[in-house]
Amino acid sequence: MISGLMNFLRACFQPSADGHVYTSSDAGGRQDGLLWYKDTGQHVNGEFSMAVVQANNLLEDQSQIESGSLSLQDSGPCGTFIGIYDGHGGPETSRFINEHLFQNLKRFTSEHQSMSVEVIRKAFQATEEGFLSVVTRQWPTKPQIAAVGSCCLVGVICSGTLYIANLGDSRAVLGRLVRSTGEVLAIQLSAEHNVSIESVRQEMQSLHPDDSQIVVLKHNVWRVKGLIQISRSIGDVYLKKSEFNREPLYAKFRLREPFGKPILSSDPAISVHPLQPDDQFIIFASDGLWEHLRNQDAVDIVQNHPRNGIARRLVKTALQEAAKKREMRYSDLKKIDRGVRRHFHDDISVAVVFLDSNLVSRASSVKSPNVSVKGGGISLPTKTTPT
């Protein structure tokens, strides 16, 4: 069994000189049209599966799984980091998070010599500040970057504990075995920040009591200032700092009145969950999946099908539902190119992380190979118009 696992790891991953294990082209995922997928991989605490399907002309979703050391120091804690970054207005913010958030987390884990809520909060704050620096630098030549932002969902498994941190409306759902019945129950772990939820609207109104227009119903959709559905994010600097809400930013993003305090927040909701032996797996996904699948439906699919390729199966099921809603065949939906595809569904990113209770309960200092997989690797040439 152990030798088989080692052969699998050797076949999949190529160690680099710095001790990290970077995926080879095949192990790092495969491309099938607008679908990217990595059907199976090994993390410190079990197996994982990832898939991404592109709908926008430029992919705005980014995602990653990092497993092994969670610190810059060899003696630091080990575990697994999962990130789903659902961008809007462009890909710049989600790409920035994908490049910097995990590195910021490792830096603060090293400083504190442990994993904690404070470490995760500081990593989010440093990532927000880093992107603000990018906006400040690019504002004179590329002012529209102030209107680019991203949701940010993170899971960290370390020392038998699961940390969930979230900004926006991506979602993490746990599948937990109920021994008395044998069923696997869906438990939502993340708090969402979308003003379609009444409690989120109330939170915004209590934070901005002097602004009767803080949340408005526009074209039958609740939006913050009539502009955006989420109340927390990385980026979206035009709704956080008044000096970026002016010309030459496009008029549709500019507010009539200057604002003092930030309208949107970058403070993540963080929860801590001691993992139990009956915790089977966690589904991390952008809202593109949850628009078409209920929590329990997604958990049932994972529970009732082979692990290999399970993230791809979830994406396919969501696309089949999207096609059904438009009264079209799934095979026809797949023929629609990026850009136009956005009228039928959003970019969708899914990571399914299985939990092996024997591995989860091990000390976090047990050394494992560092695995790094990024699921935003769809790079397609822009189609030229036929002459």
* Residue 295, both tokens: 């929590």
* Nearest C-alpha neighbor of 268 from the set 164, 140, 141, 167: 167
- Integer Cα distance of 131 and 316 in angstroms: 33
Check if the beta carbon of residue 235 is closer than 8 Å to that of residue 148.
yes
Q: What is the pLDDT of residue 259?
A: 92
According to the model, what pLDDT value does residue 334 have? 81
Q: From CA 183, how far away is CA 163, in angstroms rounded? A: 25
Beta-sheet strands, E only, within the chain: 13-15, 20-23, 30-32, 35-43, 46-53, 61-69, 78-88, 149-150, 152-158, 161-167, 171-177, 184-188, 215-218, 221-224, 234-235, 269-274, 279-285, 348-354, 370-374
Tens-digit pLDDT string for the chain (387 aa): 444 433 433 333 333 333 333 333 345 788 888 989 999 999 999 999 999 999 888 889 999 999 999 999 878 899 999 999 999 999 999 999 999 999 999 999 999 999 999 999 999 999 999 999 999 999 999 999 999 999 999 999 999 999 999 999 999 999 999 999 999 999 999 999 999 999 999 999 999 999 999 999 999 999 999 999 999 999 999 999 999 999 999 999 999 988 989 999 999 999 999 999 999 999 999 999 999 999 999 999 999 999 999 999 999 999 999 889 889 998 888 888 888 888 888 899 999 999 987 777 665 556 677 899 998 654 433 333 332
Structure tokens at 351: 């990571």
Q: What was the pLDDT predicted at 13?
A: 35
Domains recognised in the chain with CATH numbers:
32-191+232-375 (3.60.40.10), 195-229 (no CATH)
Amino acid at 58: L
- Look at residue 266 and give its three-state secondary structure: coil
SS3 state at 357: helix
